[in-house]
Structure 1
Amino acid sequence: MFNQILVFVILFVGVYSFKFPASIQQCKFGDTDCLRDVMTNVIQTQTSGNEEFALMPLDPLKLDKLSILQNQNSPVSIRLSLFNVTLTGIKDIVITKVVGFEEIPMKSKFEVTGKTKRLTIFGKYILSGKILFLPVTGNGNANFTFENVNIDIKVIPQTEMRDGKEYAPIKNVIVKFSTTKFTPHFTNLLVKNEGISNSLNALMQDNSYELFKELKVPIENAVSEVVRTVLSGPFGKFAYRDLFLP
């Protein structure tokens, strides 16, 4: 009987205990300089992901779907769905500032600021609505390029107890996103005015600053969901204290 209990305990520990990967440096609670450097290192060296850390591949980052929706009263009023999405350029992100990550998660801030020279999103798309007040529809390939990107991330966790340990799974992520140049391109983009149809991509690129201002919030919402997906792996797998040095 004792042997059976011992085997059960060993199996239980083996299944429910996760060893922090040696390939990723740990920091002390609130050591924001250490966290800044480690986050940059993870982004730039773990591009293929890290199964031990529950980190999905980062660059290229693959998503099944990404949606961008803008309201009907805007000059850009669209319903855009991207499928088989690929994001590139994440490996070049540099984290410049970290705030919080203290010992008690519900009393701590979780804020990260970063920058990169270029991010690209491309995939298959379905679009309907208006762009610069022109009625458009489309179904084909889409490519969005962002240059000189600054990104501010605020993570909102929740806490839950599992096997006597406190976890801090991600509840929400808020992203603020800026770029000096936004270049959109769509194939098979149809406009009721055929004379404008062929030059619409050029028109959007000529008015990219105004276009980005109109799409900024829905793009931020889409990027927030991407960040939440990435962070949910490590924060869901490891107890909060186990993410840091004792």
Structure 2
Amino acid sequence: MYIRIAFIAALVCSFLQFNSAEFPDDPKPCKFGDDDCLLKAINFYLREKNQGDTSINLRQIDPIDTGTLTLKQGADNPVNIDLTFSNNKIYGVANATAYKARGFGKDLTKKHELRFKVPVASLIGDYKIQGRILILPISGSGKNNITMIDAELILQWEGVPVEKDGETYMKTDKFRAIVKPSRVFFELQNLFNGDKALGDNMNLFLNENWKEIYQEVDVTFSKEISKLMSSIIDSVLDKTPYNKLFVE
């Protein structure tokens, strides 16, 4: 369920476009508030620069190294779990498409928004879970593959000016990532200490009830994705002054 957004990373990439390009195929700088130009630039970086670019502090975004993701929800929630994803990566960002942008004008303190369509995004790595999902107890640790199909990723934040070396840079604030999948598929290996019958039944239950499960963990999951996406964007924004990301 971790689409990957990273998609946000794409945004950061988009800013990079504004630096002087060494190659003729790189996008030209955009004017402040030129949404169409910005979207073209973001999609260029999603396709062509998804392995990262050290010159602009852009790290690899397909796959995205998620570090450790933790989802904890209390007993008053229908999905009462303590779930940790470690050594996970998000695959599929390179095939995402940015289709809407808002903000990015001369006043960097305004609200900014980017929207992406993500055909397929998969969170693959190791997991450990304990708790209850809807009516069933769940426990186990092993390999996971959680895949989202036809997801919309929405990234929203407010800009905060940061003065450094006589220049003004933008830092994200009140960052919010919203992920809306059309379908989610779960595969958790080695559930219930490797009991195949119980594990197969639980995976079947998860996939049959994916919508209700995702609705219950949406807020907690979005907070984790927001941390990941904001760190990618801030890393790029910290490289170049805001007034040099665009042209008049």
Partner residue, 2:215: 213
Q: Which amino acid aligns with 1:93?
A: A
- How many residue pairs get aligned? The number is 226
Partner residue, 2:161: 159
Query: Larger relative contact order (C-alpha < 8 A, sep ≥ 6)?
Result: 2
Kept in 2: contact 1:138–1:190 (CA 8 A): yes
User: Using the alignment, how far apart are the partners of 1:194 and 1:136 within structure 2?
Assistant: 13
Shift of 1:239: 1.1
Partner residue, 2:45: 42
Counterparts of residues 15-94 of structure 1 (less than 5 Å): 20-22=19-21, 23=26, 25-94=28-97
Partner residue, 1:204: 206
User: Using the alignment, how far apart are the partners of 2:20 and 2:125 within structure 1?
Assistant: 33
User: Using the alignment, how far apart are the partners of 2:196 and 2:60 within structure 1?
Assistant: 42
Kept in 2: contact 1:172–1:228 (CA 8 A): no
CA offset digits 1:18-63 (Å, max 9, x no partner): x935145421111111111111111111111011111110111112
TM-score by length of 2: 0.84
Kept in 1: contact 2:111–2:159 (CA 8 A): no
Partner residue, 2:241: 239
User: Using the alignment, how far apart are the partners of 1:222 and 1:63 within structure 2?
Assistant: 9
Shift of 1:226: 2.0
Q: Which amino acid aligns with 1:33?
A: D
User: Using the alignment, how far apart are the partners of 2:34 and 2:28 within structure 1?
Assistant: 12
TM-score by length of 1: 0.85
User: Using the alignment, how far apart are the partners of 1:172 and 1:83 within structure 2?
Assistant: 26
Compare CA radii of gyration and give the structure with the larger one. 1
Shift of 1:120: 0.5
Give the share of equivalent positions with the same residue, in percent: 23
Kept in 2: contact 1:24–1:42 (CA 8 A): no
Partner residue, 2:108: 105
CA offset digits 1:182-227 (Å, max 9, x no partner): 1111112228x99644410111111111111112222222221221
Partner residue, 1:8: none
Kept in 2: contact 1:21–1:53 (CA 8 A): no
